[in-house]
Structure formats: structure tokens, C-alpha cells
Chain A
Amino acid sequence: MDGNQMKKPARVVPDLTTNCAGIVSPNPFWLASAPPTNSGPQIERAFEAGWGGAVWKTLGQPIQNVSSRFGGLNYGGKKNIGFNNIELITDRPLESNFREMLACKKKFPKHAVIASLMVETEAEWEEFIARSVDAGADGLELNFGCPHGMCERGMGSAVGQEPKVNERITSWAKKYAEKYKPGLPVLIKLTPNVGDILPHGHAAQRGGADGVSLINTIKSIIGVDIDNYVPYPRVGGQSTNGGYCGAAVKPIALHMVGQLARDPDFQIPISGIGGVATWRDAVEFILLGSTSVQVCTEVMLKGYRIVEDMIEGLTEYMATHGFETIDQMVGKAIPAYSEWGLLDLNYETVAKIDADKCIGCYDCVAACRDGAHQCIFPATDGTRVPTIDEDECVGCNLCQIVCPVVDCISMVEVDNGFGEATWNEAVAGEKTLRPKKGSH
């Protein structure tokens, strides 16, 4: 990060119009299929607030839900950094859903309305796709991701975890989409509850999908009521595993999105989901290969109006970074997403503390002493600015991460006289590695 500052590009006027797998929306911010898209009136309010698209709460044979349904993960006084739910698909009459979809589409013709579907038999898939087309849906999203409740019935992640089933149902959906509205885009929503996302993305691609959406929620237990010995969320005296989401899942989602985006054999667009709470998160997803992003948890916690800042932030980012269109951004960080064996082991940094900014908390001292390589020491001159033994500093940047002061600790590149050398090259005997530090 340091020493690699990019040249500042000329400011541009960006166009946020998004085309993800043929689904066009005024901006890349879509509401994910979830409680915020439970009904037409909700989605209409969301569009008024600025959301570009909405994936309708999954339609299927209506179910009955439980109370309670949600749980939050708190950390360090901050509530809901992670979130989970055991809610199922829509529990509202299908007639109401499709009627409202049609009304919504009429009112907001330029916004994207995507019907999320989850049914069992081929006949049901045909029926639901036909009805979605009649309701004016701009695209379909097949819910192959739900990790609780529906998968036990052979749907949701039960489909997403089996590439053959995924491919077969995808091909049914494409067949009926073509039958009722030629060219109607079909997205496959993938589950992260798999060892490797690639076979599942490829199954969707082979089935004819126009794009994939990921990640759905992660199988989880959000916590345990330690006085009553029941996991959360409590449904009477019992609970069950649910789907984990919210800000804390972003790293997992970014990895899976990036895995697909960097695979040369994976050619269809991605709608990125998982912990998108701000415009910065959205930028990250787009740079790692997403064309649109979907948001649920942050809207559940704060409401639709968060989109105002998302649009402004993304617009300003694109303007200052020289991106005129979303497409110019998509996958921009993919070339730098490499393998460990291809990283330069001779690249060396050491920590430097800005004495003027240091407040003397010694959090870096404790972190380095107890959690790293014992090379940061308390001041001996009464200043409380710690000293760093640069000969021992391995450049792990734990100190920079724990430091509470912005830009106080920086990781500075060291010219050690060794040229670039990767592990793979070293193993092949082609390059020489610098001497190890901190391994006394």
C-alpha cells in the first residue's frame, strides 16, 4: 500500500447505470431477496429512496415462519457486526406478490425488479417463471443458497451444494424463461456453504445461467443464551442453525466473488452479496469482479435511506478515480489477486511510528510483545513513544492494525538489496531469498 500511490487520474463524470447479466438498473445497488423486499409497497419506497434494483423476497409455496427469527453478533460495544436469521421464503400469498410486482414495475419501469424463485418440481418452475414474466420481472434469481429450513426440504442450498442438480434446474429455468420471455436473464444465487465455490459457479454457467449472485448466508449459530442453555435465536425453548450475514461476512464473500472472477473459464457476470454496508464495500466487490451489489442486513438495521450515501460515495469515488462507467471498474483488482506461491518473499517492510501522532497507549507494545515478534518496546526517555527494533521487525503490520491513531504507524518498504523472488521460484532453485527476520 505504501510507496505504491497511484497517479491521480483526471476527474470524470461517472454514469452509474448498471447492466448485470442483461438486467439494467440506474445504479448497481440492489436490495437482496430478503425482508426488505417482502412486498411491493416496501420496494416502491426503496426505489423512491434511490435503490437501483430489488430482488423480490423468494417466491415459492408459501410457508409458515417462526418467532423469533433473527440474532445479532455484538463486539466491543458495537451491536450487530454480524447477523443471522432463520426466516424462510415468502409467507405471503403468491397472488399478492405477483400483483404487487406488476404494480411496482409499472410505477418504476427503469428500475430492476428481479423475481427470486425456489420451488421443487419442473412443473412448478415453469409455473413460477410464467407468472413472474406476467408480473413484469426484469430477471429471475434462482435461490440455490438458503442454508436453513428449505434445504431440509431438498431446496435452497441443497441444490446449490450439488453441481449436477444446480445445472439441471438452471437449464429448466433457462428453458422456461426463453419460452415465456426470450432473453429474460437468469441469475443463480450460490451458497457459500461449500468447500470450493468454483464447481458451483461452473455448474450454473453450464446450465445456461446469465450470471450468478453470491454469497447467500453462511450456516451459523449466532450465539447461545448462557443462562438458559439455548442457542439464539430462541424459538420457545429451542433454536436451530441459521444463515450468517452482515458486515462480518464480507471477507468470505469477497474471496468467493474473487475466486470466480479470476477463473479464466468462468465467463458470466456476478452480482456481489455479503456484508455490503457502505459504498466502500460496494467498490471492493466491484473491483473484485461484481457488476452489481446486493444489500440486505444494513437495510434491515438502518433502513432504505442508507442508499443516499452509497450513491454519493460511489459517484465521488468513480469521479476521482477516472471511472466513467461501472464496467470500467469491474474486476480492476483481479490481476493483483494472486497465489501465495507467487508473492515476492524479498519484499520487506518495517514499522515506523510517527512520534508526533503517537498518544502513548502502548497497544502496539502489547500486541507485538504478546501476539507478534517482540520488537516494539516501551520508551525509555519518558515520552511514551515506543521504540522499534527494525532488525527484528518482520513487517507483519499487527502494530499498525491495533494502533488507534490514523496514520501513526506506517509500514515502510526497506531496500534490502535482494531482487524479487517468489516461493515457487525459490523452490525451483531459480532465486535467492533474503535472510529471515524475527526467527531467533
Chain B
Amino acid sequence: MSKSESTSAQPVLQSDRAESVFKDFKPPYDEGHAVVEASRCLFCDEPPCQQACPTSIDIPQFIRKIATGNIKGSARTIFDANILGMSCARVCPVEVLCVGDCVYNHMGQPPIQIGKLQRYATDIALAEGWQFFEAGPDTGKSVGLVGAGPASIAAAHQLRRAGHAVTIYDKRDVIGGLNTWGVAPYKMKAEAALEELEWVLRIGGIDIQLGIGVGPGEGDLPFEELEARHDAVFLGFGLGEDSSLEVPGQDLEGVHGAVDFIECMKLGALDLGWVKRAAVVGGGNTAIDAVRELKGLGIPEVVLVYRGQEAGMSGYQHEWKAAKVEGVTASWGSQPLAFLGAGRVQSIHCARLDENKKATGDMFTLGADLVLLAIGQGKLGELLGGIEGIALERGKVVTDADGATGRPGWYAGGDCRNGGKEVVNAVDEGKRAALAIDAYLRNKGG
């Protein structure tokens, strides 16, 4: 990869990306629908929806502004709390956050479609090019941010509002992290994520250094150098490679990590015409995204292979329900022991587990010519090993509530801190850390 000094967020996406075939699972509102839905909002006091939002968007206020036709004010309310408000409108699991806590749920009436309303206002804001934020007066301080995902983007934008210089380093050649190359395309495609990022960067002064890894690796920017260049550091990197099962046959062709596969689908073209039956191993949200994506890419048979039972999946039930509606099946209580095939995977040899995930002694074989592993990702915390004052817990960076690590001037947020949560959590952690960094730099003085 070549090093770039560009501040443009717009790498050229190839036009034949596999994700292009997907339609929105939740289609956008037109004005009429938006106003009717917005008008249903009860404008709760001390609103439960806002309390459920990790970024604490004043939801009743932005919804009322849609109802009155004050779309600019509505979008300002959203972005002021969550600078990736357009992405979050699409990718947030609203069913378990704001919408899940709408008081209408207690009334036997449909909850307000907060995500769709948020999308309505933020889409218009981006289309119109409204700018709400200006960089603060130059403080002469500089912050280095590691990783160009939602946590760093949110932190960098907040820091620019405070007048600090910021530089984001990312080892990839595309910015936005998983929000760009990991989101299910029926929620958001890469170009939409990049469009929002370009809009965010219009605050100016966010220097993005792509193709530059930070850490102990060969060719990487060493942490010592990072610290020397900047007055504060924000660690906003994500997780590592897809975990593997460590079973025979895992190196066969046709066996891939799910996150890796999703990135290929989001950013590149795929030929899957030869796949008749695909299996996804896992029971979390990446696994559910993967089965829905495979189904959407036209694979006739897609099966979820999970050690536990349906009720015990860690993935969201509303997402799994949608997968079932789309025709995905599941093999519950199934522990892969080996991937079989000559050069290319043909089947999975599995042990049958009982409801307590204990082996029953039964064995069976499941045909599959494509297998995706969605059983977690490695933690990258070990990259920080040996940096004085930085503590790790199960690979996650340990911080206080504001993201401060034990090393003065070093902060962290997003997946490297929380172990892998939603975009909205990363935005919140980045924003909080930026506020703490601002206070730190101002106290530090000249």
C-alpha cells in the first residue's frame, strides 16, 4: 500500500461491487410519511428514547422539527449529538435502543419509527449540503488518532470544533472503518457511508493519513513517534482478523472469515454463481448479517450453523427473524469438527450438542460449498503491549468513563475499548474522549 497524504474521504469505489444488488430493508420516508409519523410522537418529557440512545440525541425535539418542516433544525439536533447521525439512522439496532424504549410499546401501538425519521432529516441535510459546525479558533495543540473508524471520526470532529489540529492514521486505504466496509448493505452501502464522511470532513483541518499503520509492526509508525508528534493520542482502532476454529480443513478453499468476506462484498466484485449451499458458523450479529447477505446475493440455500439453540443466540432476534423470513434455515446445536473436501470445501462434519451445548455423541455431516466463520474477531490490544500506563483486559484497552487510559494524554474509544459494539457506541466514546482530551489540553497549558 502506498502512503497518502490526502484529506479526501472519497476513494474511488469500484462500480461493480457485489453489495450493489441490495435494496434498502427499511425504505426511506417521503415527506408525507415523515410528517405523519413525526406528528404521532408524544414529545415525552425526560424521554426514554433519548435515554436509550448512546449518543443522547434529543429525539422528541428532532422529530417535532420534522413535523413543523424545520428540517435544518432537526438535522442540527441530530448531528450535534451524533456526527454520524445519517449512518446511525440506518445501521443502529433501533429495535433494542430508542425505538425499543418508545412509550407506544406500552400502549399496544406501533412505536415511532425513529431511525427512519432520523434518516429523513439527515438525508436532506446531506443532499442540501447544510453545514452546522465550524472549527474552533486554533489552539496550537495537536491530537493523533489511530484508526479512521467511527470513534476516531467522531473524536476528530469534536476536537476540530474545539480548535485542535487532528491527524488520523489508518493502515487501510479507505476511511470509516466497519461503518464503511462492514455494514450490511441492505442497511447502508459503502458510498453512503463515504458521502457522510466527506460531509463530516468539511469542517476542515482533519488530516487523514491512509496506508499508515501505527504500532510495533514493520513499516508502521511507532507509538513513540506518534506521541512525539502530538500533544494527545486517541486510540480508535477496531478488532483484528476473524477468529478461526482450529479444526481440520479450515484452510480449504471456500472457507472464509465472515468479516473478511463482507468487506470483499462491500468493496469488490464477487462471483458466487457456483455456490449452491452456504453455511455460516456462529450465532452473533455478524453471523446473522452474513446469512442475510448470502441469501441476498442469490445463493439458493443458506444455513446458519450454531452450537447453541435459537433462543440463546447473541444476535438480535429481530434480525434473525428477518433472516428467516428471507428463507435462511438453521442447524442448531451444531459444533463443526472438520471441514471436508478435496482442495475445496464440500461439507462440514459436526457434533450434535444438547441444549447445554454438551456433546450428545451424535455426529452428522452438512453439505456446504461456501463456509463463513462468524465466531468473533481477534483483539488488537496486544499491539499496545509494553506501553507504560496502558492496561488491557482480555485484549480491550482499559479506560475511565471518559476514555482516559492510565497514560497521560492517551485516550481510547470504539471497538478497541468496548470489544466490538455498534457504530453509535463508537461515536459516543469518540465524542466523550474528545471532550476529555480538550479539557486535558486546556489544563496542560502552553
Contact = CB atoms under 8 A, between A and B. Distances in A.
Interface of A: 76-78, 359-363, 365-366, 369, 378, 384, 404-405
26 contacts: A76-B39, A77-B35, A77-B39, A77-B40, A77-B67, A78-B39, A359-B104, A359-B106, A360-B44, A360-B48, A360-B103, A360-B106, A361-B44, A362-B46, A363-B42, A363-B43, A363-B44, A365-B45, A365-B46, A366-B43, A366-B45, A369-B45, A378-B45, A378-B46, A384-B48, A405-B107
Contacts of A384: 48
Given A76-B39, A77-B38, A404-B42, A361 B103 contact: yes
Interface string B33-56: 001101110111111100000000
A379 to B, nearest CB: 10
A26 to B, nearest CB: 38
B67 A76 contact: yes
Interface residues of B, number: 17
Given A361-B103, A365-B46, 17 more contacts: A76-B39, A76-B67, A77-B38, A77-B39, A77-B40, A78-B39, A359-B104, A360-B48, A361-B42, A362-B44, A362-B47, A363-B42, A363-B43, A363-B44, A366-B43, A369-B45, A384-B48
Contacts of B43: 363, 366
A359 B48 CA distance: 11
A360 B36 CA distance: 22
A369 B44 CA distance: 13
Contacts, number: 40
Q: Which 7 A-B pairs have the closest CB atoms?
A: A77-B39, A362-B45, A366-B45, A359-B106, A359-B103, A361-B44, A361-B103
Say whether chain A's binding surface is mostly helix, strand, loop, or mixed: loop
Contacts of A361: 42, 44-45, 103
B146 to A, nearest CB: 40
A405 B106 CA distance: 10
A171 B446 CA distance: 95
A363 B40 contact: no
Nearest to A360: B103
Q: Is the interface of B mostly helix, strand, loop or mixed?
A: helix
Nearest to A366: B45
A232 to B, nearest CB: 16
A365 B103 CA distance: 15
A384 B48 CA distance: 9
Contacts of B42: 361, 363, 404
A378 B51 CA distance: 15
Contacts of B39: 76-78
A380 to B, nearest CB: 12
A77 B39 CA distance: 5
Contacts of A365: 45-46
Interface string B97-108: 000000110110
Most B-side CB within 10 Å, residue of A77, A365, A405: A77
A365 B42 CA distance: 13
A78 B35 CA distance: 10
A366 B61 CA distance: 14
Contacts of A404: 42, 107
A363 B35 CA distance: 20
B364 to A, nearest CB: 48
A422 B398 CA distance: 71
B73 to A, nearest CB: 16
A14 to B, nearest CB: 35
B103 to A, nearest CB: 4
Nearest to A76: B39
B109 to A, nearest CB: 9
Contacts of B103: 359-361
Contacts of B40: 77
Nearest to A367: B45
B322 to A, nearest CB: 27
Most chain B CB inside 10 Å of its own CB: which residue of A361, A404, A405: A361
Nearest to B42: A361
Contacts of B48: 360, 384
